[in-house]
Amino acid sequence: MKKTLLTLAAFSFVAFASAQSIITQNFDGLTIGNVGTDITGQTAGQGGFFTLSNNGVAPTTSTNAANENFQIVAGTATQGNVLQLTGPNGNLGARFMFSEGLETFWDARPDGEDIIEINWSFYSGEPTASKNNMRGVLYNADGTKVLGGLSFAMDTKVLSAISYYTNNGSSANYLFNLATGGLVLEPSTWYTFGFSFNNATGEVIVRTGDGEANGTIQGAAAGEAPFEFNIVATAGGVAATPNTVAAVGLYDNLVIGTSSEDTLLSVADNAAQASVVSVYPNPASDVVNIAGADISKVTFADINGRTVKSLNVNSTQATISISDLSTGVYMMTVETADGATTTKKLLKK
């Protein structure tokens, strides 16, 4: 039975109907181990991801901020590699993982596509006493407004939505329940869920792949351009019952796309197909490897949408020289033999 948003608490372009651009990341092209070597958010690691980890401002009981908070680990035979995010082990602190270039991706979208849709797979985890919250959050340019997002409480297994919202004349980032008393997910289960943000109207739509959540928030951030998507872990808890132990969240199959109409989670099969295309290394300097599908053609476009390189492949894997490309950001479109097209952001060093 579908639920609607009820209560408020303070707090691979792939034939997507009308969608014309897509970024996918299934982590299979990344190496098992730490994502990066810098937890200050200044130096990119694997896949072009930046990592930021802290224990919070003293006095704090958290002690475990480290590069090991962000790891690529082996999932099940069907899941492939996944991202493992470890939260704070005390009352304060947070983890953020993000990549640059989303604003360029947004600016280069086709005319009329004012909706950004983001979905991913998440493992709800074993029962735990940890009050960590595992989140996926879309920010505006100055980081003050959450244009849309989802938050999962590891101890209660409650999934909530996040949005910049006006309540009784006060605008702020609010947490929304997805069902009366909170939408509780089953432990030890993989879920697919996502949200969309309409830049023209401020509307936020939230859905889960199983149909348990399907609701709309009339957000207050219309006109704010999407700038950065973060995978986040927060300490959780309150002063009376602070967090005392770290939890682990597993993420996979991240899909970010734009559309002129609501297509959120309506093309899960196509999104899954797009996610099997792996591109690595990224950032790259001399060559880029592509694998995981019957590739027919690869095209590179600059940030202005101009095609700067195109070649036929006709193989399930390829190594392509990019030494002729200037340093910068490119949108690399991979077309497969069945006509599906996946566009991924590539950073050329």
Nearest to 97 by CA among 156, 52, 150: 52
pLDDT single digits (tens) 181-203: 999 999 999 999 999 999 999 99
Structure-block tokens of residue 69: 């908070």
Range 60-69 average pLDDT: 98
Q: What is the pLDDT of residue 270?
A: 42
Is the pLDDT at 260 greater than 80? The verdict is yes
Q: How confident is the model at residue 206 (pLDDT cuts 50, 70, 90)?
A: very high
Is the pLDDT at 344 greater than 80? The verdict is no
Separation between Cα atoms, residue 77 and residue 65, nearest integer Å: 30
pLDDT single digits (tens) 306-334: 889 999 988 877 889 999 999 988 888 88
Q: How confident is the model at residue 19 (pLDDT cuts 50, 70, 90)?
A: very low
Q: Regarding beta strands 328-336 and 341-348, do their DSSP bridges make them parallel or antiparallel, or are they unpaired? A: antiparallel
Whether the CB-CB separation of 36 and 67 falls below 8 Å is answered with yes
Separation between Cα atoms, residue 83 and residue 85, nearest integer Å: 6
Nearest to 51 by CA among 230, 268, 267: 230
Is the pLDDT at 14 greater than 90? The verdict is no
Is the pLDDT at 289 greater than 70? The verdict is yes
Range 329-343 average pLDDT: 76
pLDDT single digits (tens) 109-158: 888 999 999 999 999 999 999 999 999 999 999 999 999 999 999 999 99
Separation between Cα atoms, residue 329 and residue 346, nearest integer Å: 6
Q: What is the pLDDT of residue 323?
A: 92
Separation between Cα atoms, residue 203 and residue 207, nearest integer Å: 13
Range 219-246 average pLDDT: 97
Q: What is the pLDDT of residue 188?
A: 93
Of all residues in the chain, what percent carry a pLDDT higher than 70? 88
Q: How confident is the model at residue 295 (pLDDT cuts 50, 70, 90)?
A: confident
Q: pTM of the entire structure?
A: 0.75
Half-sphere exposure of 259 (CA within 13 A, CB side): 24
Is the pLDDT at 345 greater than 90? The verdict is no
Is the pLDDT at 4 greater than 70? The verdict is no
Measured between alpha carbons, how far is residue 76 from residues 81, 198, 247, 298 in Å?
Answer: 8, 35, 20, 30
Q: Regarding beta strands 214-218 and 115-123, do their DSSP bridges make them parallel or antiparallel, or are they unpaired? A: unpaired
Nearest to 120 by CA among 290, 8, 291, 257: 257
Phi-psi bin for 328: left (phi > 0), alpha (psi -120 to 50), beta? left
